[in-house]
Structure 1
Amino acid sequence: MARLDNPNIGFSEEDARRLHHPHDDALVINIRARDYNMHRVLVDNGSSTDILYYPAFQQMGIIRERLIPTNAPLVSFGGIRVYPLGVVTLSVTVGDYPQQITKDVVFLVVDCSSAYNAILGRPTLNAWKAVTSTYHLMVKFPTEYGGGELRAN
């Protein structure tokens, strides 16, 4: 396959063809973390960290001893402090072969209720050089073989 060093990333109306507009849906995707297909992952440009919820952590079969302790609390929208159980680094793969990337993601593991299994925030989106569009419900990112993409599910 030809290698592309600097793919052009953009969105078109064709990218939004399967969506019903107007919408205010959240950008929720699937990822592959470790060897686990994870559903209900929120892409949140407003989050300053990547979060993995404890029930998903448990379902992945990761032993709690892998957590690296941290004492930095998270402050929620309502000002409530949430103390993470720890930090875990997981290999995450996104995209369809060959337009895919695999990178290590450092997740804060929190034990609180959520409709999501994980949140991908700015640290990962920036590491992926990802561009998001809530209108198109898509994430696009450069790969060695052209632009990769994730559609909301």
Structure 2
Amino acid sequence: MVAPFKQRRTNQDMSFNEEDARGVKQPHNDPLVITLTIEGFDTKRILVDNGSSADIIYLSAFQQLKLDLGRLRPFDSPFVSFSGNRVYLKGIVTLTVTVGTYPKQLTRQLDFLAVLATNENHTWTIEEKEEDKVEALEEVELVEGKTTKTTRIGTTLSLEIRLMLVQFLKENLDVFAWSHEDMLGISPKVIKHKLNVNPDKKPVQQKRRVFVLEWNQAITNEVNKLLTAGFIREVYYLEWLANVILVKKVNGKWRMYVDFIDLNKACPKDSFPLPRID
């Protein structure tokens, strides 16, 4: 007796229960590892990270797909990590990617950024790139007697162009903002920004964080500047409460951010994110 042929079912729903979630730290935003058909080859161990804005292909995968280096197109923008390190790419290549099986199948042409390094653990090789020569600049005083109101222009300009440029800048001083008070803002009658917060989400009030004395002083100074300029105001009975974050700049000063991670979770994700902003 021959056992009946069991056809593989591809329309079965994939579901998870409480047992599958045991041991997983909540809330979680874990990536997926899947298999796709790329350029006619079944390519395994593809990491799908919904927090990434670029599709990456490594040297080993590039070689196993037998791709010609001539297909690479120039791509000059490097990846910059939070630590400031830069990852320089070899180029961008367009590949044919197929997902699923017939009749539920989709084929698309996708652009992959080629990281020609042997590492596949996301510890990319950092290559040093010679910095382009930058034109020397000179400082120009736009308001006589006020050394704080200056700007810089190139030193290779002809005398005639330099005089015209300086005169043009002095005639348009209103476009410069040397302090918070100089930024008057835009009237709400012209444009207004409103957060699209999900009404079903419960407001989050973060617990107050304790900072060292140096950080506290930097926060106080920045808040006082914003209060004086009228950018912020004190409110009571607030529903959302977020702490600030300090990041040290190259010049040794502090830059202050607001930890909006809880608020961002309550807002729907943008269907058209910007992967790169120049």
Report the counterpart of residue 114 of structure 1 in structure 2. Answer: 120
**Cα deviation, residue 77, structure 1:** 5.0
Give the TM-score normalised by structure 1. Answer: 0.60
Query: Do residues 21 (structure 1) and 26 (structure 2) align?
Result: no
**Cα deviation, residue 21, structure 1:** 3.3
Residue type of the alignment partner of 2:22: H
**Cα deviation, residue 70, structure 1:** 1.1
SS of the aligned residue for 1:65 comes to helix
Query: Do residues 68 (structure 1) and 57 (structure 2) align?
Result: no
Structure 2: state its 5+ residue gaps: 1-12, 123-278
Identity %: 43
SS of the aligned residue for 1:46 comes to coil
More helix, by proportion: 2
Matched residues in 2 for 1:76 and 1:37: separation? 31
- Aligned residue pair count: 104
Q: Which among 44, 50, 59 is matched to residue 54 of structure 1?
A: 59
Report the counterpart of residue 106 of structure 2 in structure 1. Answer: 101
Matched residues in 1 for 2:120 and 2:100: separation? 25
SS of the aligned residue for 1:58 comes to helix
Residue type of the alignment partner of 1:114: E
Report the counterpart of residue 41 of structure 1 in structure 2. Answer: 46
More strand, by proportion: 1
Q: Which consecutive aligned stretches of 4+ in structure 1 deviate over 6 angstroms post-superposition?
A: none
* Aligned residues of 2:92 and 2:111 also touching (Cα < 8 A): yes
Matched residues in 2 for 1:107 and 1:46: separation? 16
SS of the aligned residue for 1:37 comes to strand
Residue type of the alignment partner of 2:120: S
SS of the aligned residue for 2:15 comes to helix
SS of the aligned residue for 1:16 comes to coil
Matched residues in 1 for 2:57 and 2:67: separation? 12
Residue type of the alignment partner of 1:52: I
Query: Do residues 84 (structure 1) and 64 (structure 2) align?
Result: no
Q: Deviations over 1:57-104 (max 9, x none)?
A: 011101111111111101235432111111100010001211111000
Matched residues in 2 for 1:40 and 1:46: separation? 17
RMSD of aligned alpha carbons: 2.3
With over 3 angstroms needed to count, the CA separation of the structure-2 counterparts of 1:26 and 1:45, relative to structure 1, is: closer
- Structure number with greater Rg is 2
Matched residues in 2 for 1:81 and 1:68: separation? 19
Matched residues in 1 for 2:72 and 2:54: separation? 16
Matched residues in 2 for 1:29 and 1:79: separation? 31
Matched residues in 2 for 1:89 and 1:65: separation? 12
Residue type of the alignment partner of 1:92: V
Structure 1: state its 5+ residue gaps: 1-11, 117-153
